[in-house]
Amino acid sequence: MTSVSASPRVRLHVEDSGGSGRPVVLIHGWPLSAASWSEQVGPLKDAGYRVVAYDRRGFGRSDTPADGYDYDTLAADLAGVLDDLDLRDVTLVGFSMGGGEVARYVARHGEDRLHSVVFAAAVPPYLMKTDDNPDGPLTEDKAKAMEDGLKADRDRFFDGFTTDFFSVDGDLKVDESQRQDAIALARQSDQTAALGCMKAFATTDFRQDLTRITVPALVLHGDGDGTVPFDGSGKRTHAAVAGSELVVIEDAPHGVNVSHADAFNRALLTFLQR
């Protein structure tokens, strides 16, 4: 079933499998859409879960407002999806940029609707390397180069980005058709949204947000992730969230949910049984 959810400011495209199973809400990475979860939706439904995935504002089939690409607003959009569908006992699964929405949702909206959370190749706790965040894996120079590249030539940028997204040490871990599918999703993104969200995931500090998490948490990451490196992100998130579980998938790139879908799904389904 496909529905459209109304947030206070924008309309979001929401895909809802329906049913009476416990809800799993999938929050996609940048600059993709809910369609990037195609390898997970079927197995989750087959296991009896109600699967909800939505396109972030400015991406896929959702509205493209001129602003609202900060994490407070994006977390409010997520809250609107949960409220509109009256979802309870939810597991939030945030991939890459989507992990930021998970952290900020807990900090701003609490855990009353939540059963558990998953950070998959996710950007928390804080990507940007600063004086008070020396372990941040993203330098200002690299962030500026990404911004300049996207502004200069979207097609060229997305070609290079998706190659890195699915590669480990230059070795592409997916079929070329899968990479082209990701490029097609990236091209659907609104440029204002893509640039606004790029700034948000690069510069937002989630360190205090993570301390608010008390529900069961899984950190799921590829050890070959060159886009959001494990040591600077997943490893630190695992340390910051008390009692969290950690699964590191060997020889997996950033796009681990596609490149290593079987291992990713096994880890996710095992965790969901908690």
Cα–Cα distances in angstroms (integers) from residue 51 to residues 120, 142, 220, 226, 257, in the given order: 17, 36, 19, 29, 16
Cα–Cα distances in angstroms (integers) from residue 213 to residues 116, 157, 268, in the given order: 9, 35, 18
225 in active site: yes
The residue annotated as part of the active site, out of 5, 225, 244, 259, is 225
Specify whether the CB–CB gap between 87 and 113 falls below 8 A: yes
28 in active site: no
178 token code pair:
């899968």
The residue annotated as part of the active site, out of 28, 238, 254, 260, is 254
Q: Which amino acid is at 92?
A: L
187 token code pair:
């091209």
The residue annotated as part of the active site, out of 33, 62, 96, 233, is 96
Residues 253, 228: Cα–Cα separation, whole Å: 9
- Check residue 68 and give left, alpha or beta (phi > 0: left; psi -120 to 50: alpha): left
List residues with catalytic annotation. Answer: 96, 225, 254
